[in-house]
Chain A
């Protein structure tokens, strides 16, 4: 069951900020012409930005963290696969679900227009649900 949903539209300014913060000067994140030269249809959201925005949204949703059974427990691992680029101006729908048979394990995906752009897993410290 999906315990968390959130939407995020990636603005070009936020993408540029993220590049600045992570010292990532690759032009496909900053300049549309350069992105097109690499065969992309537009400015691309950084791969790390997609899960970072998920975690930021999850961070502010105590109820969802409770439903996922992770409370305030620390994140220990994160993984994902990039299925298709997320482009500047696109709106991502995040969905996250707890894995019933593995405490602290959460699967997540980011969809654009119903298509999976990124999917992966979060691993939090296992423990009693709701604990911190």
Chain B
């Protein structure tokens, strides 16, 4: 741990481009999707698809400019980072072209020992708003282990 990482807050501003949503839908559905507006997502899926695009993998990982990297002072780059689990609450899908703000806060960083050896357990809470409207919150847990 270095710097002022505990409680550190990262802030990113993103734009939801239709082309990104096309890639998301193409990957998840296995179909070629060229027009996200025309794709028949039901209410059961749409509230998930958009926030996951927004808060999703969006780079929780080291060395790659990810959102863990957005947390000031967090030293995680020397280890192998794996996501352990997620708790996501979704509010509403944002419109295409919306400007998203994503705030990430490190809420936990503690040493652990498991069946596969010792690791650091990081807990990150994220909130996403689109045009000032809440879209989703996410609680994510990571393990950071020494590289083999």
Contacts and interface: CB of A to CB of B under 8 A. Distances in A.
Interface string B21-60: 1111111111000000000011111111100110011111
A38 interface: yes
A82 B83 contact: yes
Contacts of B47: 74-76
A21 interface: yes
A91 to B, nearest CB: 13
Interface string A39-71: 100000011110111011011100001000010
B59 A72 contact: no
Given A26-B57, A27-B64, A59-B42, A52 B49 contact: yes
A1 interface: no
B58 to A, nearest CB: 5
Contact of B44 (A75, A79, A82): A75
Contacts of A20: 20, 23
Chain B facing A: main interface SS: mixed
Contacts of B83: 47, 82
Interface residues of A, number: 48
Size class of the B contact interface (CB-based, 8 Å)? 35 or more
Contacts of B29: 56, 60
B147 A37 contact: yes
B90 A75 contact: yes
A65 B63 CA distance: 41
A28 B82 CA distance: 10
B86 A78 contact: yes
Contacts of A47: 57, 83, 86
A58 B45 CA distance: 8
Contact of B85 (A46, A52, A80): A80
B56 A59 contact: no
Contacts of A29: 57
B95 interface: no
A22 B56 contact: yes
Contact of B52 (A48, A58, A74): A48
A52 B86 contact: no
A90 interface: no
Contacts of A39: 80, 145, 147-148
Contacts of B147: 37-39
24 contacts: A17-B26, A18-B23, A21-B20, A21-B23, A22-B59, A23-B14, A23-B57, A25-B64, A26-B61, A26-B81, A37-B147, A38-B80, A39-B147, A48-B52, A55-B44, A56-B45, A72-B42, A73-B44, A74-B47, A75-B45, A79-B85, A82-B82, A85-B82, A124-B44
